[in-house]
Structure 1
Amino acid sequence: MALLSLFLVVSILCAATLWKRFANRPHKRLPPGLKELPGPKGYPILGSVPDVPEKNSAVKFAEWAKEYGPIYQVNLAGSNHVWISSDQVAHDLLSKKGAIYSDRPHIPALIDDNRTSGQYLPLTSKNGAWARQRKFANTVMRESENAKFHRYPELEAKRMLVELMEQPSQYNHALESFISRVTCRLAWGHSEANEELKQRARELLIGVSPTGAMGNKLPFLMSLPDWLSPPKAWERRRAKTERKFFEIMQKDVEHDMKEKRAPQSWMKTFLEHRGSWGFQYDMEGAYSVGMHGIAGALTIAAPMQTFCLAMCHYPQYLPMLQEELDRVCGDRPPRSEDRENLPFLRAVIRECLRWRPPVPTGIPHYLIQDDSYAGYHIPKGSVMHPLEWAISRDPAMFPDPEIFNPLRWVKPEFPTYREPLSQYPTVINCTQFGYGRRVCQGQGVADEDMLIGIGSIAWLFNIAKKSENNSDEACSDSGYDSQSEAEELDEKYGLRRHHANATISAEELNAGLEKSEATEELFYPGAWPAADIAEDEAHMEKVRVKTKKSSQDLDPTLDYTTLLIAKPVPFEFDLSVRTRYLAEKARSLFEEERAKGAYSSSRAYWGESQGQGKELGWGKV
């Protein structure tokens, strides 16, 4: 009898949730002179939910854009979702009409209402908490950028390179640790919380993703008591653990400041000027700092992993990138000051964001009142998606959009080319960072992390598809079977020879983008020889033919995770250092920093087994 009663309660709640969504769908009565947005018809109650695949859903929405136009709507279980596949339309609505398009939709799976709790700035509606935390974010990001992010990316890149040399098969962990350590240092001054920050990021990502937490798929579950709803109990424990973690981190910085040994961090800035931001409750500052930490750990590692994937399938660009790094940086990894002299590295990074955007469906906006565009009615309450997957594939702006081609950013004949090359290409203000009043305020951090991180990897390593004859641990101290092999490869690619007695003059290092007889023969200052570019074009033509094959063929470069922030599913590839000299140099740089006490081990916060079975700790992901 009790089981039957429970079944009835659940059924009633489920039906009520579906009816509420159905009843709240946009009314069919349209304002005079306006048309309804086009879109797929869908099914009763469920709308088009059955037609949307869980994996690579952005691809499906981009296909619908080709059928229905640059702006169309989709009914998803009674909720109206508007998909924008044009950069111009996105600017017209989300930027120019930001007053009504800057709110965020409700995320059912979170215990506290994301729109009003003030816990997560990127998910907060346009209210007082949003204004206060946005002001704080502007200050700390500007201070960090002016200080070249306190050299934290350069410091942690040295540790990352050694980890990749020692365990190349664990590249995913090394890249994500690099990002989380830098972000921890920026947020709280130390890197020990990097593993905890990664876990906080993973759990929150599940909570906010439409295909993640069950509470987003079946919102009625969040109306049940915890004992009856495991997803709700999981989320409550996640929220409590996150809050306690932020409290601990704030107290640690307070203690360091009392001892007068606190490194520069966002939390230190907050505590030094605690009354300047107008925060309304004790934990608002802690959440503001912590949210920026989580946001960094969530997103920046994805394009770094995409870089490894791209180099496996488009290997012709790695020697070009290495030539530039050798010429500009010599026998050290890249630094912040090298930025203006590394246009091809910036092109590779920009192309990684375009080719496989880390947020392919875009971060959604929410329309607070009825609006119209190009003769179409857009109803109040619509969830607006700037569909980055489609925006970054506009064939007029990006010829051959499915092909990874960083040359499109540095060759004048491409629509994306801009000058001067000391500044462009750049990821700053690209569409992946959002529109209007919702532009990501941490894009400077992402830019610096990717420049130093991806540049360091390319400086030290060769990347190639997995060879059947090679072992899993493809990387060694030398990277080559013999010194002669290294010399042959360096000669083949025209790389600068590295050895213990090598010297590089200041003129060579500072040459940068200056014109010379050598550079005048190349298609952009300091780029790869034109003869090899012709070979690349021939290779790209083969790729174009390959991409025209049946869609039934599995594309290995599309094996991405299903959550809101997508990253390549871990895959095997060969990672080998370019020369023994570079390997020894990388180890020497790491050991110098370690001798200064720059690196510490990760800290566990919840006891044995990360708090498994306890009130606070890691949740199952």
Structure 2
Amino acid sequence: MAILTLLVLASILGLFALYKRFTISNRHRTPDGLKTLPGPKGYPILGSVPDVPEKNSFIKFADWGKEYGPIYQVNLAGSNHVWISSDQISKDLLAKKGAIYSDRPHIPALLSDNRTSSQYLPLLSKNDGWARQRKFASTIMRESEKANFHRYPELEAKRMLVELLDEPNRYNHALESFISRVTCRLAWGHSEASDELKQRARELLVGVSPTGALGNKLPFLMSLPDWLVPAKAWERRRAATERKFFEVMQGEVESDMRDKKAPASWMKIFLQNREKWGFKYELEGAYAVGMHGIAGALTIAAPMQTFCLAMCYYPRFLPMLQEELDRVCGDRLPVAEDRPNLPFLRAVIRECLRWRPPVPTGIPHYLTEDDEYNGYHIPKGSVMHPLEWAISRDPDMFPDCEAFNPLRWVEPGYPTYQEPLTQFPTIINSTQFGYGRRVCQGQTVADEDLLIGIGSIAWLFNMSKQDISNPTGEPNVVIDSEKVENITLGTNPQGSISSEELNTGVDSPVPGRHTMEDVILSKYSYPGAAPKVDSMDEKSPFTEQKTAVQKSTKMLDPTLDFSTLLIAKPLPFKFHLWPRDSERVSKVRNLFNENHQNGDYSSNREFWGENQGADKPLGWGKV
């Protein structure tokens, strides 16, 4: 039986390869008078897939850009991918010619066609669903911004700081929870679903990433029955769980509104005038809100993790940032009104996005008609990649581009300097948020979260890669990546878990006590995690990028140990974190306690029963 199954799979794969080869050869004929875009030759059937490393593939694509020019094409298993390493070319094509460059490519691993399902706005083709959901998104973002995002980032920053004080070795969890809680509040008015939102984001990220779900690597598998393809069964369960989650969250806001106790939220805006938006199916509003929640849950945390990395490897900038915060904020945490007076904080945030962009390959566009650019033919059906890693390393715009240097945004003489400093630098409309009609509509949320989140961390904490003398008397705490390991799914070695071990309260965390999220995730590989690196080389992070990743797993540049999915995040690393002084610690704890006593912080919530629905129709999937 097993041999027969393998023969069937081999036959299907062979037929698929022949079909792709025939269709590609006909589709990509270059018209007379035009040239074919340059690019690597590749291999039969597979194209250049064998030449692209799964780890930090964006560096390989950037290197090809240096070899073949700022726009080139690559055949990846029969699909034509065009990579753009220039901001100007990206604008010329993706923005100025948005009428034909604004679609999205098909994502095979998703059961519902991402282009037409009206489920995920960022993944929709340019159609009626895309138009009505963009209109809705514009409204909810504008209303949130006018209300200073309802002070949700400032509220959750206090909880994040207490978590960092109590368990700094779980800094990744604290930063991601901060973003997820703020996003939950914006989406539905409450933070209790933050762990669930993070898991929905993790699973969807696996599903949409080229290096994630197996269906994206071998699309023909999605046409086979579930029993033969576990990846397809996994996606079916993920989609059903997501749908139910969105439905439950909408129902709870409806209930809150009937009881006249609904906090401000995007869902509340939708429900107050359902008919206004013209949504076409029962849960389109639930998806329109939930998708924005998912989009923010993990992407915004990545630059915060990059901030920790940058302050450890470029330590001279942390005292400069703290001086500005102390001068502007004094003995209080930063608030939204401080923004005009914090240009260096904004410069640090802007540089985090440039130095280690969270989506280094860019969000792909899809070309719907044959096109021409500077004498080169770009065939219809090409997947267009504004390669953010390369765009953010333009040596003319970013001198010494491999170095983290926020001064490039605030000192005259740099090409990136812009006045007035009360407004610039800003991440708004930066290339990381996309081009043309596909610009991210949630960038103002990201801007506010990062200003408050990173500003609060720098206001309270010192950090260092090395174990240095601490004059405050507070203990240095080592955050060790060796304690944050990827563990494959398996049996809990402790057998049963007590209710105390599954504590999900909001009181100050106790070392050794873990939330339900920790218990579940301890059984799974972290999404996008690379194979465990044997050791970190202590060489300078200024090593040239072309030598940053060897064929072996050892990293030459420890600042390039990134996850492998579409959203690239720094993997947990070893550094030291401690509070600047005891007065700030007391201030933060008092503020947190006041909000806690007022009922502002709720416990995390479980949605799917014991063990988050393991072995049940709905629940958390392996990531």
Same fold (TM over 0.5): yes
Determine the structure 2 residue equivalent to 1:590. 592
Gaps of 5+ in 2: 477-538
Would the alpha carbon gap of residues 207 and 456 (structure 1) be closer, same or farther in structure 2, given more than 3 Å must change? Answer: same
Q: Which amino acid aligns with 1:115?
A: R
Task: Output the TM-score relative to the length of structure 1.
Answer: 0.87
- Counting only pairs closer than 5 Å after superposition, residues 219-368 of structure 1 correspond to structure 2 as 219-368=219-368
Determine the structure 1 residue equivalent to 2:614. 612
Determine the structure 1 residue equivalent to 2:124. 124
**CA deviation after TM superposition for structure 1 residue 30, in Å:** 1.9
**CA deviation after TM superposition for structure 1 residue 466, in Å:** 4.5
Q: Which amino acid aligns with 1:5?
A: L
2:474 matched to 1:479? Answer: yes
**CA deviation after TM superposition for structure 1 residue 13, in Å:** 1.9
Instruction: Give CA-to-partner distance per residue, 1:91-146, whole Å, 9 cap, x none.
Output: 00000000000000000000111001110000000011100100000000000000
**CA deviation after TM superposition for structure 1 residue 25, in Å:** 1.7
**Matched residues in 2 for 1:142 and 1:550: separation?**
44
Q: Structure 1 residues 14-23 or 565-574, which shifts more?
A: 14-23
Instruction: Give CA-to-partner distance per residue, 1:303-345, whole Å, 9 cap, x none.
Output: 0000000000000000000000000001111100000000000
- Counting only pairs closer than 5 Å after superposition, residues 412-561 of structure 1 correspond to structure 2 as 412-467=412-467, 479=474, 547=544, 554-561=556-563
Q: Contact conserved, 2:353 with 2:432, CA < 8 A, in 1?
A: yes
Instruction: Give CA-to-partner distance per residue, 1:205-227, whole Å, 9 cap, x none.
Output: 00000000011011111111111
Q: Contact conserved, 1:83 with 1:386, CA < 8 A, in 2?
A: yes
Q: Contact conserved, 2:59 with 2:545, CA < 8 A, in 1?
A: no
Determine the structure 2 residue equivalent to 1:581. 583
2:15 matched to 1:20? Answer: no
Q: What percentage of aligned pairs have identical amino acids?
A: 73
Q: Contact conserved, 1:254 with 1:271, CA < 8 A, in 2?
A: yes
Would the alpha carbon gap of residues 549 and 108 (structure 1) be closer, same or farther in structure 2, given more than 3 Å must change? Answer: closer
Determine the structure 1 residue equivalent to 2:601. 599
**Matched residues in 2 for 1:602 and 1:136: separation?**
29
**Matched residues in 2 for 1:583 and 1:33: separation?**
69
**CA deviation after TM superposition for structure 1 residue 15, in Å:** 1.8
**CA deviation after TM superposition for structure 1 residue 26, in Å:** 5.1
**CA deviation after TM superposition for structure 1 residue 148, in Å:** 0.4
Determine the structure 1 residue equivalent to 2:4. 5
**CA deviation after TM superposition for structure 1 residue 24, in Å:** 2.6
**CA deviation after TM superposition for structure 1 residue 480, in Å:** 5.7
**Matched residues in 2 for 1:108 and 1:388: separation?**
24
**Matched residues in 2 for 1:477 and 1:282: separation?**
57
Instruction: Give CA-to-partner distance per residue, 1:432-472, whole Å, 9 cap, x none.
Output: 000000000000000000000000000000010153x99xx
Determine the structure 2 residue equivalent to 1:195. 195
**Matched residues in 1 for 2:16 and 2:123: separation?**
23
Q: Which amino acid aligns with 1:222?
A: M
Would the alpha carbon gap of residues 369 and 243 (structure 1) be closer, same or farther in structure 2, given more than 3 Å must change? Answer: same
2:135 matched to 1:135? Answer: yes
Instruction: Give CA-to-partner distance per residue, 1:6-44, whole Å, 9 cap, x none.
Output: 223212222233223222325453222110000000001
Would the alpha carbon gap of residues 8 and 578 (structure 1) be closer, same or farther in structure 2, given more than 3 Å must change? Answer: same
Q: Contact conserved, 2:197 with 2:294, CA < 8 A, in 1?
A: yes
**CA deviation after TM superposition for structure 1 residue 478, in Å:** 5.9
Instruction: Give CA-to-partner distance per residue, 1:505-557, whole Å, 9 cap, x none.
Output: xxxxxxxxxxxxxxxxxxxxxxxxxxxxxxxxxxxxx9697559965671000
Q: Structure 1 residues 352-361 or 553-562, which shifts more?
A: 553-562
Q: Contact conserved, 1:196 with 1:604, CA < 8 A, in 2?
A: yes
Gaps of 5+ in 1: 482-541
2:166 matched to 1:171? Answer: no
**CA deviation after TM superposition for structure 1 residue 348, in Å:** 0.1
Would the alpha carbon gap of residues 385 and 26 (structure 1) be closer, same or farther in structure 2, given more than 3 Å must change? Answer: farther
Q: Which amino acid aligns with 1:359?
A: V
Q: Structure 1 residues 551-560 or 346-355, which shifts more?
A: 551-560
Question: If you compute each CA radius of gyration, which structure gives the higher value, 1 or 2?
Answer: 1
Q: Which amino acid aligns with 1:67?
A: E
**Matched residues in 1 for 2:99 and 2:603: separation?**
46
**Matched residues in 2 for 1:213 and 1:88: separation?**
33
Would the alpha carbon gap of residues 274 and 216 (structure 1) be closer, same or farther in structure 2, given more than 3 Å must change? Answer: same
Determine the structure 1 residue equivalent to 2:377. 377
- Counting only pairs closer than 5 Å after superposition, residues 69-218 of structure 1 correspond to structure 2 as 69-218=69-218
SS in 2 for 1:268: helix
**Matched residues in 1 for 2:371 and 2:570: separation?**
37
**Matched residues in 2 for 1:39 and 1:413: separation?**
36
SS in 2 for 1:83: strand
SS in 1 for 2:385: strand
SS in 2 for 1:25: helix
Q: Which amino acid aligns with 1:479?
A: E
**CA deviation after TM superposition for structure 1 residue 595, in Å:** 1.2
Instruction: Give CA-to-partner distance per residue, 1:360-397, whole Å, 9 cap, x none.
Output: 00000000000000100000000000000000000000
**Matched residues in 2 for 1:441 and 1:610: separation?**
32
Would the alpha carbon gap of residues 545 and 7 (structure 1) be closer, same or farther in structure 2, given more than 3 Å must change? Answer: closer
**Matched residues in 2 for 1:19 and 1:578: separation?**
64
**CA deviation after TM superposition for structure 1 residue 479, in Å:** 2.7
> RMSD across aligned C-alpha pairs, in angstroms?
1.7
Q: Which amino acid aligns with 1:581?
A: E
